[in-house]
């Protein structure tokens, strides 16, 4: 039995949320998707609100993962404790709201989903993800495991994939918002892509108005970043998982650009 898993890259802004609401269920039908994980940590530009979380789940996501902005919108904190379908990085402090992994049902059986955050070129206050994942895998037991590794450095993401090769069914990266072209199945059977890309405005600098990002890099006085306007795209990847072997048999990048209004 093979399960097709759609992993969707970081949703940026209300426009990204709206595009998911319009297209995600149709995409799942067209791609014969049995399970869908969406990274939603930039739905508010920075962070996720309870309303946006409900919208993403209603759009067809089975699980929402987060990242370095997991707690940026403090109103999400009680929601993280209440809703087991939203995961924040497992290697953040255990005392913080929410959970970092869970077991979820699919049409072909149970899968585990884990959200981790990297530390290279980011905030080093989270615990070491390479250390934290070991007990987490033991808790999940003998089921296929899917991992969203929210990290900056490509080296850290790829190192995590090799560290988990043969133990996780799929490892994908989020955070950098630029879809990479290195989809592969590692020697031990773990599917991998360094970064899914993002679900948000195409004409932007990782979701932000280009002129704001240009001003920042030119050293000018800037303003609070704003989500860019214009057409959006959904980016991600489809992982085909052999449920019995707990291995990946196929990885395909996915991108769908918003159709212009008629």
* pLDDT by position in tens, the chain (length 262): 999 999 999 999 999 999 999 999 999 999 999 999 999 999 999 999 999 999 999 999 999 999 999 999 999 999 999 999 999 999 999 999 999 999 999 999 999 999 999 999 887 789 999 999 999 999 999 999 999 999 999 999 999 999 999 999 999 999 999 999 999 999 999 999 999 999 999 999 999 999 999 999 999 987 888 999 999 999 999 999 999 999 999 999 999 999 766 5
Q: Could you tell me which residues come within 8 angstroms of residue 26 by beta carbon, excluding any fewer than 6 positions away?
A: none
What 8-state DSSP symbol labels residue 213? H
Task: Report the half-sphere exposure of 81 (CA within 13 A, side-chain side).
Answer: 8
- Collapsed DSSP state (helix, strand, coil) of residue 130: helix
Say if 262 falls within a structural domain.
Answer: no
Say if 153 falls within a structural domain.
Answer: yes
Say if 18 falls within a structural domain.
Answer: yes
C-alpha 21: how far from chain center: 17
Q: Please count the structural domains in the chain.
A: 1
Q: What confidence score (pLDDT) does residue 259 get?
A: 78
Record the pTM: 0.96
69, 150, 175, 177: the catalytic one is 69
Q: In whole angstroms, give the CA distance from residue 207 to residue 218.
A: 18
Say if 141 falls within a structural domain.
Answer: yes
pLDDT tens string 188-238: 999 999 999 999 999 999 999 999 999 999 999 878 889 999 999 999 999
| Whether the Cβ atoms of residue 240 and residue 144 lie closer than 8 Å to each other | no
Say if 25 falls within a structural domain.
Answer: yes
Which tokens go with 23? 């297209």
What 8-state DSSP symbol labels residue 238? E
Q: In whole angstroms, give the CA distance from residue 41 to residue 64.
A: 9
CATH of the domain at 74: 3.60.21.10
Q: What confidence score (pLDDT) does residue 80 get?
A: 96
Parent domain of 30: 2-257
Say whether 150 is catalytic.
no
| Whether the Cβ atoms of residue 51 and residue 19 lie closer than 8 Å to each other | no
């Amino acid at each position: 039995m093979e399960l097709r898993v759609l992993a969707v890259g970081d949703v940026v802004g209300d426009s990204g949320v709206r595009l998911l609401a319009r297209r995600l269920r149709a995409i799942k039908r067209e791609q014969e998707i049995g399970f869908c994980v969406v990274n939603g940590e930039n739905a508010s530009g920075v962070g996720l609100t309870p309303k946006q979380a409900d919208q993403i789940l209603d759009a067809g996501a089975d699980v929402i993962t987060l990242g370095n902005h997991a707690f940026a919108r403090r109103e999400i904190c009680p929601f993280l404790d209440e809703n087991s379908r939203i995961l924040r990085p497992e290697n953040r402090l255990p005392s913080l709201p929410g959970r970092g992994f869970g077991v979820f049902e699919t049409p072909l059986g149970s899968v585990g989903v884990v959200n981790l955050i990297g530390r290279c070129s980011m905030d080093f206050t989270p615990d070491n993800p390479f250390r934290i994942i070991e007990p987490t895998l033991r808790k999940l037991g003998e089921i296929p495991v899917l991992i969203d590794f929210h990290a900056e450095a490509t080296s850290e993401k790829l190192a995590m994939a090799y560290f988990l090769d043969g133990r996780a069914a799929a490892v994908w990266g989020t955070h950098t918002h630029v879809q990479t072209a290195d989809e592969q199945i590692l020697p031990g059977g773990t599917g991998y892509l360094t970064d899914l890309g993002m679900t948000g405005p195409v004409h932007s600098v990782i979701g932000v108005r280009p002129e704001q990002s240009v001003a920042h890099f030119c050293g000018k006085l800037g303003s609070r970043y704003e989500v860019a306007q214009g057409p959006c795209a959904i980016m991600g990847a489809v992982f085909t998982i052999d449920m019995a072997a707990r291995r990946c048999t196929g990885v395909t990048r996915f991108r769908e650009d918003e159709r212009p209004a008629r």
